[in-house]
C-alpha cells in the first residue's frame, strides 16, 4: 500500500507533469504563430512526452492500489521573446521538475517504499536527458545568434523530431 503522504505527493507530481505538458503545448502554439514550424514540432513532441510521464505515474498509483486524483492545471505563460528565451525557460522548468522528483525519491526512501523508489529511478534518469537536451539546444542557439540562415536550418532539423512512447510503463495498465 502507498502511504497517504506518498500517494498525495505522487498525485501532485501527476499534476506537475500535466502542467509541463500544457507549458510545452503553449510553446508549440507560440512557435506555430511565429512561423517556426520545426520549433513548434519539437515542443509538440515534448507535450506528448510529458503526458506519457503523467501516465506512467497514474499507472503506478493504480498498480499499487492507490487512488489517482486529478487537480486543476494552472495557467501557463503564452509568450517568449525568442527561441533562446523559450529554451532557457524550458531548462529552468526542467530543473524545478528534477528537484520535485528528488524530493519524491527522498520521501520514498524515508518511508522504505522501495517499489516507489525503483519506479522513480526512471524519472531520475529521464530528467538527466531532459536537461541535457535543453542545454544542447541553448548552446546551439547562442552560436546561431541572429544568423537567420542558421536558425532556418535548425528549425528544419527540429521539424524531423518524432514522438516515441518513452517507456512501456506509459502504456501498461
Ligand atoms: Mg516530465
User: Cα of 146 to ligand 1 centre, how many Å?
Assistant: 30
Rounded Cα–Cα distance for residues 102 and 13 (Å): 11
Long-range contact pairs involving 46-51 (C-beta distance under 8 Å, separation at least 24): 46/90, 47/21, 48/21, 48/163, 49/163, 49/166, 50/17, 50/18, 50/20, 50/21, 50/24, 51/17, 51/18, 51/21
Rounded Cα–Cα distance for residues 47 and 156 (Å): 19
**Local confidence band at 171 (pLDDT 50, 70, 90 cut-offs):** confident
> Under a CB-based contact definition with an 8 Å cutoff, are residues 74 and 19 in contact?
yes
pLDDT in tens, 93-103: 999 999 999 99
pLDDT in tens, 2-30: 999 999 999 999 999 999 999 999 999 99
> Under a CB-based contact definition with an 8 Å cutoff, are residues 68 and 61 in contact?
yes
pLDDT in tens, 78-131: 999 999 999 999 999 999 999 999 999 999 999 999 999 999 999 999 999 999
Query: Can you give the pLDDT at residue 1?
Result: 86
User: Cα of 114 to ligand 1 centre, how many Å?
Assistant: 21
Three-state secondary structure call for residue 71: coil
User: Cα of 149 to ligand 1 centre, how many Å?
Assistant: 32
User: Cα of 50 to ligand 1 centre, how many Å?
Assistant: 5
Whole-model pTM?
Answer: 0.95
Q: What cell numbers appear for 3 in the block?
A: 502511504
Three-state secondary structure call for residue 20: helix
Protein residues with C-beta less than 5 angstroms from the ion ligand 1: 17, 20, 50, 53
Amino acid at each position: 500500500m502507498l502511504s497517504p503522504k506518498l500517494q498525495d505527493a505522487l498525485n501532485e507530481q501527476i499534476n506537475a507533469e500535466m502542467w509541463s505538458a500544457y507549458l510545452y503545448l503553449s510553446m508549440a502554439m507560440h512557435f506555430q504563430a511565429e512561423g517556426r514550424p520545426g520549433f513548434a514540432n519539437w515542443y509538440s513532441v515534448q507535450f506528448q512526452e510529458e503526458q506519457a510521464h503523467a501516465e506512467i505515474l497514474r499507472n503506478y498509483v493504480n498498480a499499487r492500489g492507490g487512488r489517482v486524483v486529478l487537480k486543476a492545471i494552472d495557467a501557463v505563460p503564452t509568450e517568449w521573446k525568442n527561441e533562446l528565451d523559450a529554451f532557457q525557460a524550458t531548462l529552468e522548468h526542467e530543473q524545478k521538475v528534477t528537484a520535485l522528483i528528488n524530493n519524491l525519491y527522498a520521501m520514498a526512501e524515508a518511508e522504505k517504499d522501495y517499489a516507489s523508489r525503483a519506479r522513480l529511478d526512471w524519472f531520475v534518469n529521464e530528467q538527466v536527458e531532459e536537461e541535457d537536451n535543453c542545454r544542447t539546444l541553448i548552446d546551439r542557439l547562442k552560436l546561431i545568434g541572429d544568423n537567420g540562415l542558421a536558425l532556418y536550418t535548425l528549425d528544419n532539423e527540429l521539424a524531423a523530431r518524432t514522438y516515441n512512447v518513452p517507456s512501456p510503463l506509459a502504456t501498461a495498465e
